[in-house]
Structure 1
């Protein structure tokens, strides 16, 4: 029997997001929280909330976070079909550089994200908006990635994704001549040049970008690491979407060339490790991905559970009655469920894989993702605290 004590483990198949977490919303209007994204935006230098409004776009859904609000809740955000499912998140505010990241979407609970915006000099950077449409139909293109770069292609790049009306807004773009590119799933990329006026000197005219239907491919960089040690794995072979296999170097890094945009299979093999096979949503601007794989182990499980922990119900007389559910990330299937006793203890039996563990009590919920490795490893101390009053 192999036992591995993991405290508040978060081990994801492919991490393409920063500062993202999962949690629950208090009961409000009956909307299921699975498609809700809760966004908190702070100043990167001070960690304080912004004093200006912030435009937030997640998976095409747009909202405005006001300075008087602690957080913005975006509802009906598409969960996505990747494993784990992800959606692009863009945040823009006056006086800051636009932030872009891929957010891992929770399957059964709300997704919580904290975004840190870097201040921008209004005298040397500008803000520009516009719309991305289909050249033939004129219809809007959702989640098109628009990026601005120096004419030489070298230097700082600033970009963002469009909403479900095709509109985008990007701030913190250095003033002067800029080259822009626009990419979207199912369309050929487009490029052009534009002169950016600094915010302190005036406004920039909106861009209208028309894309032609076709297949877009991008290079996808990443790193392969051991799921527990986080050490790089050399010699791993990585193929994404049928691309030419790439082999990792001593630092575990690779670049998969010419990967089609869209949901693509990711295959990884390495000596001494379990084969990795998942689906990942490839989008322009995806950035570097991290793939975590398990060391090969052949020991069968010995106990009637593979995940165990404690739920603390803050404000309740005791910790009994909370429902704990294990949902497989790649299929959304519930594989086991348990109810806590007065001490808050629970135990689940699930096969190796990636899971979302959700705790529910009296209409409130909280969740987190974890990995159950092969070889009879028991993941212990997966603990939760849920405020109920």
Structure 2
């Protein structure tokens, strides 16, 4: 077949157009496949799709716009109260944190265990949120100090002066949301194993309460440590006591207070010495909280070496040896003592009368807490026991 020069150009031009159309189509398909696998940087990375429903606990109606955070991954429910979320699959023995919050409803938070080796999982029962009228929602963002690095899976708590405690976990983008918080004043507390604890006073009003960006210091950062040394019997300040932490010393003033600069955060040994008192040595976590240290006048030790004691057992009844037991001031949430259980799961503290929170942590098990009151008059509490449940 004979073609003119113009006909040949037209034919070749059509072929070129078809060639580039084919290239563009293939490129588009490849990009669509890449998006389906989780993005260019996630090629080949396994994921698990979670699905569930959030409902009003009183009416069973779906809740739209609820924030759902599972192991740091965040999404919202649709108009049917449904959510779907892709997360990195947890290990077989791992429990992961789950938080659901919505204005006007109490926060739902728990640790959940998912079936291993499955590409998808649908929660069989709906998550029920209890309506909470005239409540506030506290939200903010967590970042590493002086960086833009966000902090996910941090445990965030609001402890109101009225005694309510609302908890949840932050998302990987640093956002945390706690709804259904009673109005008034209280403490906002942030805890993460890789960072120093953070506490601040907040006022909660009805509706939104944005506390802004909170900067967290990595564990190991040298910090200023403040505290007070008190007489264990009179609960009066002790002047002239020598406090030693990580080899650095300070002398308490007339108010029993001391300050030591540049103390490495983390686990440290604390020693207190005074000519008129029995020496004190204890191991504690230096995480930014003020220390309250009690020392006993010489010759006045009690008949038993503790005023609070108990046994920590695992769910199978066996003793939880090496569990970390913290004693907190119930009003300020400040850590006052820390110890570990012995081979029999036993722990003890020697402290004066007052209100305390005892917190127990043990790897692979849920954190447990009890609020207790130690009465005046030499009362000894010997049965503050715990049975830990697996995560």
TM-score (norm 2): 0.48
Higher helix share: 2
Greater RCO between the two (CA within 8 Å, min separation 6)? Answer: 1
TM-score (norm 1): 0.48
